[in-house]
Every structure is written in structure tokens, then in C-alpha cells.
A and B are shown apart, each in its own frame.
Chain A
Amino acid sequence: MERSFTGRPAAPGIALGALVPLAAGGGARAASGAAESEADALRAALSAAHADLSGLVERSTGDAADILEFQVALLEDDVLAEPAFAAIAAGRAADYAWLDAMQREIAGYEGSDDEHFRARAADLHDIRERVQAHLTGTAIETAVPPGAIVVAVDLAPSRFLAIDWSRGGALVLTAGSTNSHVAMLARSRGIPAVMGLGVDLAELSGEALVDAHRGTVIVNPGALTRAQFARDAKAAAATRARASAAAMQPAVTADGTSIQIMLNIADPRELADLDPAICDGIGLVRTEFLFHDRSALPDEEQQYAVYREITEWARGRPVTIRTLDAGGDKPIEGLTPVGESNPFLGMRGLRLSFAHPDVFRAQLRALARAATHGNLKIMLPMVTRPQELTAARSMLDTEVAALRAAGISARRASLGIMIEVPAAAIAADHFDAEFFSIGSNDLTQYVAAAGRDIGAVADLADPVQPAMERLLRFVVDVARAQAIDVSLCGDAGGDPRAIPRLLATGLRSLSMAPASVGQAKLAVAGVDLRSPPAPAPWPK
């Protein structure tokens, strides 16, 4: 029977396909009923997990390797699984026995008064999940067939990236926020997404039709609904055609003002089928995802190859590459701290880079080398004080000088900062950056004190509100006075609803997901700067 559920639209589009649930932990497993074979199953899973981890250790260095070695040490210790084997001998199934034993071990860490011990609970979680995945035979992401409608409670960005979206599909989250990174990735990849459905995962099985414009998920759609879907799909294709035609045109307002349209990308693969003529350059390369896709931190050579590839794609257009912005909701195993009570206010962005100078210097070297192949610029995330910019600049200058001294071709690329911490926005005139880029997602959530990953308050994190407009105007005025470029990267930049107000603040450069370029150019064409819109009102 047809059943309809409604959530929040997170990335536009429609899709019809099979619902494929992704469990947060392991999947289901058929127990053998015999203690001996259950014990064998657990032994096999433990040794497979040990092999995984040992492989990871070999490919890692520094802190990442230390963390992994700790996990290996725990896994090698028979004491860890002793209670699980005892429970199996008493008749429990292997997966339940394992989860139960680990839950107790984890509780011991989480109950500690000492922050350092509480933080290690994350390592125990990792071990639990790794062994459980082997026990249940779920190499989770690879089990998703192409074109599927993936359903989950919430989804980590790294898991989203591990899924093959090449043949379409859609994402449905029963929890989740439309401002989260996974929502941003879905928009960037053009994958329809609906979040915050608020129902049990078990309700979502069979086939479903996702209308991510309305935020509806229709399970087991009937003939009438399917016919309507076919018409909608045709209309959507027409809208896409109109937007993609606009995408190849320059962005000019009704009064003839040219607007620069830049791209936000997280992976060079996003550029594979794109003609660089659709944009005026790349306004934001999110390098943390390069770190996510690998089982070990990418070294200087690997980074150089990727940065060079992106820079060469742009054929002389500016390419702004942001240094590692891990932390917050983008953890990287072995690099970001675990157990921070509020990761968005903690060790993330440039702060994390300063804590790992070797990782940061390797990235600066890779960027300076790639800068010889085009118009590459370097952007620092989460800058809070002018001294941080000074320190990063001095590190960049040192690395450029060292490369040249070693006979390696390098260029001191232009060095700018993200304006996303309110302190930097409010005191923008204190920073002698070579350019500004307003990170509207983070700036909004810090200004509104409303997390973009928390569905219940996500509405407060609206980039179009008086406080944000006032800040943007100020930052744009400072940039003009200092004669430096200022751009805005963040979802607002590609949002047709926000674009008229962003242009009214004086912004003339917007950076957005490749999938948004067409609609953004259409929105720009509808703006007449001779009669700017009234300031944004507070919502009723």
C-alpha cells in the first residue's frame, strides 16, 4: 500500500528506486546456534579487523599511526574479547556477545572523570564497529547498488562519499539537518535528499519515490503516483535544460553589472564532465575530503598532483584552495581530537593545522608547487586573530624559500582568509589578508548560535537575516577600502532566494556547488541593482 512521509528538502531533485537501509552499526546476522561456530566467527572477525588495522598502520605516520597502534594493541590483547567468548560459551550469538562486551568496556571509558580517558571511547567504538562489520559481513557502503535510495538515521560525509552515486539515486535521512555537510555534498553532487523524516527506519522498505523539492518520500507508490512522477521527471528535465543553458552564459544583472560565478568543489572528480567556461574560477576547494578518501593522510606528492590537476582544469582562471578544514563535523581519524564537548568551537581548521605543523607544512609545500601551474590562491579557514594569519604567512614563506633552495619550482601564491569566525568578521579591518572569502555556512551558525547539524534549531541558522547582512556589508566595505578581492562561498551563494540580498550588500563574486550555477545565473539576471531589495526583515 502506498504510504507518504514528509521531511525537510535538503537537496533538490526527484528519484524513484529501491530503498536500501544503512544501519548505523553492523547489519543483521544469522546466528548458527552452536557455541563452537559462533566462537569461530568471532575469532575470524577479530583477526580480519586486526589485519585491516595493521594495514592501516603501515600506511600511516605520526599521530595517525599512534592512534591506530593503540587500537591494534587492544585488539591483540585476549582480555578484550574474553567476556564475549564467555557469553558465547553460555549460548549467546557472536555479534550480540561482542556488542555487549564492548558496550561494557566503552562504558568504563565514558564513565571516567578524566577527559583523556573519556576521549578514548571513540577508539573502542572504532574497534567495535570494525569487528562487527566483519562479523555481519557488511562491507557497508559497497553493498549499496547504484541508483538506490539510501536510507539511514544520519550519514557521515565520508560514508556518503564512499557510495557510488554515478547512476543517480537519492538520500533519505530520518534525522539529519539540511545544513549538514552531508546535505551540502548531496547538493554539490546533485543527489536529491530529504532529511528529518522523523520515522523509524523499519517504515522505509520496498520501493519509493522521493520528491526532494517538496520533501516527500512515497513508499510503494501506486499507478497514479507513478504517472505523476513521470510527468514531474519530464518537467524537471526541462528545468535542468534551461538552467544548463543559462550556466554557459555570463552572469549579468538586469542593470548590466557583471557578477563572478565561482565553483565550490571537494574532489577533482566533480570537474570531470564540466566545461570550465561555466564559471569564472574555483572559489573553494575543500581539501579535507582528499584526506577522507584515503586510509592514510595524503603526502605532499599526492596533494601536489590533485592541486595541480584542479589548477590546470581552470585554464588560467583563479583557483582558491582552502587548507585543511578538518574538525567540527569533519573528523579525520588520527588527526582531529576525539571527545571534544563542542567540536565546532574546538580544534578545527587553521587551529588544527597549527597543532600538526608537519601536516600543514606538507600541504603548504604541495600548494606552492602546484601554484606554478596556474592561478592558484591559498585560503586559511577558521582564522580568528591577525597573528594566526601572520604565523601562517611566515610558514608559507619559509616553505617556498626551502623548496626553491632545493631547486624545486614553487610560487608564493596569494594568501587570503576565510571570514567565518565572527571575531574576524567584526574586526575584518585588522587583517592584512590578500583576499577575503566569506564562509557563510559557518559564519551564519556562529552568528546565530544555531548548529547547522541540529535539525531543531536549523531554521535559526538562516544566512539571510539582518545581523548577517550588516556583517557582510562591513566585510565588503573593508575589502574595498583595502583594495582586495572579496567573495562568498557557502550554500547561500548558490541559493536563488539569497542572491538578490547578497548582491545588495556589495558582493560581486559568489562561489557555489557546480549543480547550482545555472539557477544562480538565472537569479542574477533577475536582479536590478538600481532598485536594491529592502533589508532582510526578521522572520515573523
Chain B
Amino acid sequence: MTVRSPNDPVPKSNAVHTGSALLTNDVGLHARPSVKLTQLAKRFGAHVEFARTAAGPWVDAKSPVKVMRFKAAKGETLHFRASGADAAEALAAVVSLVERGFAAEGEDASQPRRE
């Protein structure tokens, strides 16, 4: 995982946090994973987005309809960015979820759930 905070001295609440993670689960960003991702993102006040490249175009990580339209497959790298009060925590949480293969926290991701 790579999580970088910008070095410039902007106030923390306005900082844009970025990171990326590789989709390793068999079915990609599919029905169940997309529900997990959006539910997790919604727990934070921060604006959370993701994209195929670090340059965008960016997709709202709180919208299951948009996440499904995005159709990310296994083996793709997802770039995330978050801004707002709890952006750092939000970013760390979503990146970690993808890295765990969408398993629950502490669960073994090497046994992907059947779809």
C-alpha cells in the first residue's frame, strides 16, 4: 500500500490524501465487494473517490451504482483519493479493504468467497 500525504502546508482538513491498491479477489469490484466498499466509504464524512489512473477520471466511492458502472476486474490497480475532515482515516480504510480482498478485518483474504 502506498499512502502519501502532500508535503505542502495546507490545513489538514483540506488535504487530499491519495493511495492505491491492487484488486486481487477473483470477481473484481463486483456486487458484494462494491457494497462493502460503498458501505465503508459512507462511514466517513470525507469525500472518497477512485479511478483507474492517478489522473482520474474519478468515481464517487459512496455510490454503488457508479462503482458497478466502473466494472473493475481482478488484477487492476485502483487509485483512491480522499478529502475532508477524516480523509486520512477514510483513505487508509478503503485501501486496506481492497488489499484484504474485501475480507472482513482480520479475516484471511486467501480464501475468497464464492460469488
- The answer to whether the Cβ of A361 comes within 8 Å of any Cβ in the partner chain is no
Question: In the complex, which range does the number of interface residues on chain B fall in?
Answer: 20 to 34
Q: Is the CB of B30 within 8 A of A116?
A: yes
Contact A79 B31 (CB under 8 A): no
With A114-B71, A114-B73, A116-B115 as contacts: A79 and B32 at CB distance below 8 Å: no
A79 touches B71 (CB 8 A): no
B63-A120 in contact (CB<8A):
no
B interface with A by C-beta (< 8 Å): 27-28, 30-32, 34-35, 38-39, 60, 63-66, 68-69, 71, 73, 114-115
Whether the Cβ atoms of A70 and B31 lie closer than 8 Å is: yes
A79 touches B30 (CB 8 A): no
Q: How far is the CA of A76 from the CA of B69 in the complex (A)?
A: 16
- Chain B residues with Cβ below 8 Å from A33 are none
Pair count A-B, CB < 8 A? 48
A456 at the interface (CB under 8 A from B): no
- Decide yes or no whether A5 CB sits under 8 A from chain B: no
Grouping DSSP codes into helix (H, G, I), strand (E, B) and loop, the A interface class, with mixed when no group exceeds half, is helix
Q: Which residue of A lies closest to B30 (CB)?
A: A116
Residues of A within 8 A of B30 (CB): 116-117, 120
Q: Please tell me which one of the listed residues A66, A67, A74, A112 contacts residue B64 in the complex, with CB atoms under 8 A apart.
A: A74
User: Can you list 11 A-B pairs with a CB-CB distance of less than 8 A?
Assistant: A66-B32, A67-B31, A73-B35, A74-B65, A77-B63, A77-B65, A112-B71, A116-B115, A117-B30, A117-B71, A123-B31
Nearest Cβ distance between residue B14 and chain A, in whole angstroms?
Answer: 26
Contacts A108-B69, A114-B71, A117-B30 known; 11 new A-B pairs at CB < 8 A: A67-B31, A70-B32, A70-B34, A73-B38, A74-B65, A74-B68, A105-B69, A114-B73, A116-B115, A120-B30, A123-B31
Q: Are A79 and B66 in contact (CB under 8 A)?
A: yes
Residue A340 lies at the interface, judged by CB distance under 8 Å to chain B: no
- Chain A residue contacts of B35, Cβ below 8 A: 69-70, 73
Cβ-based interface call for A536 (8 A): no
Distance A108 CA – B114 CA, assembled complex (angstroms): 24
The answer, yes or no, to whether A355 is at the interface (CB within 8 Å) is yes
Residues of B within 8 A of A120 (CB): 30-31, 68
Given the known interface contacts A112-B71, A114-B73, A116-B115, the answer about A73 and B64 at a Cβ–Cβ threshold of 8 Å is yes
In the bound assembly, the distance between CA atoms of A105 and B66 in angstroms comes to 10
Q: Residues of B contacting A66 with CB < 8 Å? A: 31-32
CB distance from A87 to the nearest CB of B (A): 16
Chain A window 429-454, contacts with chain B (Cβ cutoff 8 Å), 1 for yes, 0 for no: 00000000000000000000000000
Q: List residues of chain A with CB within 8 A of the CB of B65.
A: 74, 77, 79-80, 105
Q: In the assembly, what is the distance between CA of A108 and CA of B66, in Å?
A: 11
Contact B32 A114, beta carbon cutoff 8 Å: no
